[in-house]
Structure 1
Amino acid sequence: MRFHITTFGCQMNVHDSQWLGRTMRDKGWEDSDEDQAEVLILNTCSVRDKPEQKVYSHLGRLRDYWSRNPELFVAVGGCVAQQVGEAFFARFPYVRLVFGPDGLPMVPEALARLSREPGLRLSLLDFTESFPERDTALPDQGVQSQAFVNIMQGCDNYCAYCIVPLTRGRQRSRNSEAVIAECRSLLSRGVRDLTLLGQNVNSYGLDTKGREPVFSDLLRNIAELPGLRRLRFTTSHPKDLSSETIAAFGRFPNLCPQLHLPLQSGSNAVLRAMGRKYTLEHYLDKVELLRRERPEIALSTDLIVGFPGETDQDFEQTLEAMRHVGFESSYSFMYSDRPGTRAASMENKIIQDVKAARLKTLQDLQNEISQAALQERVGQRAEVLVEGRSKKRSAATQCFRGRDESGRTVNFAAPSGSDLDFSGQIVSVRILEAKKHSLWGCMEEVP
């Protein structure tokens, strides 16, 4: 049968969808465009209201496909599925499978059964007591230079605004031997750039009562694997970013000078209401230590505007924190109520117009900071892991795109007369120009 996957939300969802797609192809299913598929899979996100509403809108649009082909069916997975559950069955007759993040390993078998039994509906919504392992040694992954490795699932922090503990469950750390085995396997197949994934990677191992190492030890064990050129991790909670993990940035050259460290707000009053368990001063101390270990580190963050009770002064403190840290990029959102969270019942909600105005001000400031950071790279040399050919090309010169060690997008021209494909290689590029969201340069020499 033919299938199509649509993914909403975070990098963990993207990674989950990639695994599911590879598994389905390995079992003989055919990946196709949405309008040609017989099974449509939505991997959803409910961390904010807007992505959740996009899921309902998308499901409504799929009704036309079902009207033309009544044998078509839809599977809804991820955080919205965990939140809404079997209520999808009543609202959308063509939805025949709902599965939460822990149910992902069972989805291929469930889809095969549904294709054989037309009247059946299934739900895979129970949380597991341990990390939900799945097959990571699929034969058709092909040549790849970058890969993601899940090291934990769920979260124990229960921030006032966050639905993750309700949709992904309590924290469960993956067995460290399984993590390292997957990393070794990926490196043996030519992967050079690994990213460790989790809702809060810094708290890895804390739920196992000593059965697994803490995150800094796991990070060291992976950084020392032969053949690994680049190592990253996301996402980090500032309160759990240990001095040992910070020191690793100075100790291991292959630990990339890049870190996503969510701040959420620059106001201590708002951070306290959010339940973030750190102050701005505590956060800035971590930033100072990181830059002492790795002066060139590029920091990115998450920011929420319009949290209940946020004053103009609170918001100005967030802007000042952005200027002080100089985040190279940020993911910024207007606060929205999420069902079951503490913030949903808080008073002093901020009206939409005020939230929208604050978000624009914040994003305008971020654009200025980001552009200045890119401009500082002009004239510098960058080591770029090439992802493929660039759309910026001319008839006379081959152009490629990739990312430098800090995750910045770099488009560059290959040496004149070269007809080689540099995809998957790390090449030296001289940065010539800063664009709005990327860099442009020329390759210095053929490796």
Structure 2
Amino acid sequence: MNVADSEVVASVLGEEHYEVTNDESEADLVLINTCSIRDNAEKRIWNRLDALKHNKKINPELKVGVIGCMAERLGGKLAENKLVSLVAGPDSYRKLPGMLTMADKGDPAIDTELSKEETYAGILPKRLEENAFGGFVSISRGCNNFCTYCIVPYTRGRERSRNPEDVMSEVQELINTGHKEITLLGQNVNSYHYKTDEADIDFPDLLKSVSKLDTTVRIRFTTSHPKDISDKLIETIAENDNICNHIHLPVQSGSSRMLKLMNRKYDRDWYMERIQKIHEFIPNCGITTDIFCGFHDETEVDHQQTLSLMKEVGFDWAFMFKYSEREGTYAAKHLKDNVPEETKTKRLQEIIALQQELSIKSNKADIGKKFAVLAEGVSKKSDQELFGRNEQNKVIVFPKGNYNPGDYVQVKVFDCSSATLKGSLVE
């Protein structure tokens, strides 16, 4: 999502004759687009600001801004850092030219006002990776779920869906410029709903329309909320060959008690029923997830339920974390962070170890299978190998042969690790 937002920012500033540079030492303006979902993400930003002090010494005219969720959360506190001359929240990017004018005058340029309407309609994002074969398109902004641990509704505002015509136009532009794979984005992508007097379009409707623009282009989406995985959506994926058979479905915990404390709006049984429905309609669907441990009052029983759910589902891969309290959330105010740090660490290690077992099992099951892979680039280990992803979003490394990044390649898997498949070319 931050990649997509950065492309919006690049477009807005491009109208003011700013150009993107890949050489940081050349920059007159550095904007750090930030995330606040975990404490470690914010710590990295403070470290980044410290590192930029060197650039400021070399170029005293350098302007540094912090934008995105951390800017929204901390606002003027960031401007207390003498290096920072601009602070803009996720709904303030149209105002950046005026804010930069203020910064030039030495005035504090801070705008963290959230909007109920801003979707950046009419702005065609400037693609930052010119040779990329995959592109991102935001279809909604914000979130209405208010999970008790999550800062996102407070930093990105309430959920609002983009006009489907804008979405379709942006996707078509990516297709026209040679992109082979497009990912639809939303904090809760599958709750997309755009309703007017003339139209009532939900996410499966939009997904199907996007897939029909060019059936040779792969379509992905992220991130889905389990409560909004409808039968209609599952059937839409199954019925359209170019919608990738991969669903990222964050479970967070395998304990219904914990899910209720988290205000996730589903329980373990609901989640497992959705998994069964996915397998019924899309037998070869890749399923990945988010899991975290150590939330308020989590017991060993709750933790064991998470481990048992992981085994039952057999996730291909997972983002795994221990709980870090975020100031401003419901949990920070009402649900004490009372699981000892050493307990969190132990439980996270067990989750990671189990997922490594599940990932290697999932990958071994692919040995002998053939996949169409979109080559994304040259392997880090050898310039004679390419890497890419199959429909299930698994990374496959394979011989370069006569292929180049951007090609679709038929590959047969012969070996694997927990993170990567290894394949040979199918002539």
TM-score normalized by the length of structure 1: 0.89
Residue 239 of structure 1 and its aligned partner are, at CA, apart by 0.7
On the 8 A contact 1:192/1:227 being kept in 2, the answer is no
- Indicate the residue corresponding to 2:374 in structure 1: 385
- Indicate the residue corresponding to 2:224 in structure 1: 236
On the 8 A contact 2:8/2:125 being kept in 1, the answer is no
Partner Cα separation in structure 1 for residue 192 and residue 276 of structure 2: 23
- Please say which of residues 95-104 and 343-352 is displaced more in the overlay: 343-352
Residue 65 of structure 1 and its aligned partner are, at CA, apart by 3.0
**Aligned counterpart in structure 1 of residue 87 of structure 2, from 92, 98, 101:** 98
SS of the residue 1:432 aligns to = strand
**Aligned counterpart in structure 2 of residue 159 of structure 1, from 137, 144, 147:** 147
Partner Cα separation in structure 2 for residue 96 and residue 348 of structure 1: 34
Q: Does 1:83 align with 2:73?
A: yes
Partner Cα separation in structure 2 for residue 424 and residue 148 of structure 1: 16
Structure 1, residues 212-252: CA drift from partner, whole Å, max 9, x if none?
41111111111222344311111111111111001112211
Q: Does 1:403 align with 2:396?
A: no
Partner Cα separation in structure 2 for residue 194 and residue 229 of structure 1: 7
- Opposite residue 360 of structure 1, the aligned amino acid is Q
Residue 13 of structure 1 and its aligned partner are, at CA, apart by 0.9
Provide closer, same or farther for how the CA distance between residues 206 and 181 of structure 1 changes in structure 2, counting only shifts above 3 A. Answer: closer
On the 8 A contact 1:22/1:141 being kept in 2, the answer is no
- Indicate the residue corresponding to 1:176 in structure 2: 164
- Opposite residue 126 of structure 1, the aligned amino acid is E
SS of the residue 2:92 aligns to = helix
Partner Cα separation in structure 1 for residue 58 and residue 149 of structure 2: 41
Q: Does 1:412 align with 2:390?
A: no
SS of the residue 2:150 aligns to = coil
Q: Does 1:422 align with 2:404?
A: yes
Provide closer, same or farther for how the CA distance between residues 127 and 306 of structure 1 changes in structure 2, counting only shifts above 3 A. Answer: same
Seq. identity, %:
36
- Please say which of residues 65-74 and 76-85 is displaced more in the overlay: 65-74
On the 8 A contact 2:99/2:109 being kept in 1, the answer is no
- Indicate the residue corresponding to 1:54 in structure 2: 44
Structure 1, residues 291-332: CA drift from partner, whole Å, max 9, x if none?
111111110111110000000000000000000000111111
Which structure 1 residue ranges, 5 or more long, are not aligned?
1-11
Residue 211 of structure 1 and its aligned partner are, at CA, apart by 5.2
- Indicate the residue corresponding to 1:128 in structure 2: 115
On the 8 A contact 2:164/2:194 being kept in 1, the answer is no
- Indicate the residue corresponding to 1:257 in structure 2: 245
Partner Cα separation in structure 1 for residue 327 and residue 84 of structure 2: 22
- Please say which of residues 141-150 and 286-295 is displaced more in the overlay: 141-150
Provide closer, same or farther for how the CA distance between residues 103 and 208 of structure 1 changes in structure 2, counting only shifts above 3 A. Answer: farther
Partner Cα separation in structure 2 for residue 208 and residue 97 of structure 1: 37
CA-based RMSD of the aligned residues comes to 2.2
Which structure 2 residue ranges, 5 or more long, are not aligned?
none
SS of the residue 1:429 aligns to = strand
- Indicate the residue corresponding to 2:349 in structure 1: 360
- Opposite residue 293 of structure 2, the aligned amino acid is V
Provide closer, same or farther for how the CA distance between residues 216 and 99 of structure 1 changes in structure 2, counting only shifts above 3 A. Answer: same
Partner Cα separation in structure 1 for residue 416 and residue 311 of structure 2: 20
On the 8 A contact 1:143/1:190 being kept in 2, the answer is no
SS of the residue 2:297 aligns to = coil
- Opposite residue 399 of structure 2, the aligned amino acid is A
Number of residue pairs the alignment of both structures matches = 424
On the 8 A contact 2:37/2:150 being kept in 1, the answer is yes
Provide closer, same or farther for how the CA distance between residues 31 and 422 of structure 1 changes in structure 2, counting only shifts above 3 A. Answer: same
On the 8 A contact 1:384/1:428 being kept in 2, the answer is yes
SS of the residue 1:157 aligns to = coil
Partner Cα separation in structure 2 for residue 304 and residue 230 of structure 1: 30
TM-score normalized by the length of structure 2: 0.93
**Aligned counterpart in structure 1 of residue 184 of structure 2, from 196, 204, 213:** 196
On the 8 A contact 2:219/2:243 being kept in 1, the answer is yes
On the 8 A contact 2:136/2:184 being kept in 1, the answer is yes
Residue 210 of structure 1 and its aligned partner are, at CA, apart by 8.3
**Aligned counterpart in structure 2 of residue 33 of structure 1, from 3, 23, 26:** 23
- Indicate the residue corresponding to 2:268 in structure 1: 280
- Please say which of residues 66-75 and 424-433 is displaced more in the overlay: 66-75
Residue 436 of structure 1 and its aligned partner are, at CA, apart by 3.7
SS of the residue 1:337 aligns to = coil
Partner Cα separation in structure 2 for residue 132 and residue 124 of structure 1: 16
Partner Cα separation in structure 1 for residue 167 and residue 19 of structure 2: 28
- Please say which of residues 187-196 and 252-261 is displaced more in the overlay: 187-196
Partner Cα separation in structure 1 for residue 166 and residue 307 of structure 2: 42
Residue 47 of structure 1 and its aligned partner are, at CA, apart by 0.6
- Indicate the residue corresponding to 1:4 in structure 2: none
On the 8 A contact 2:10/2:125 being kept in 1, the answer is no
Provide closer, same or farther for how the CA distance between residues 141 and 374 of structure 1 changes in structure 2, counting only shifts above 3 A. Answer: closer
- Please say which of residues 398-407 and 172-181 is displaced more in the overlay: 398-407
Partner Cα separation in structure 2 for residue 137 and residue 431 of structure 1: 37
On the 8 A contact 1:173/1:207 being kept in 2, the answer is no
On the 8 A contact 2:72/2:155 being kept in 1, the answer is yes
**Aligned counterpart in structure 2 of residue 325 of structure 1, from 309, 313, 316:** 313
Deviation beyond 6 Å, 4+ runs, structure 1: 206-210
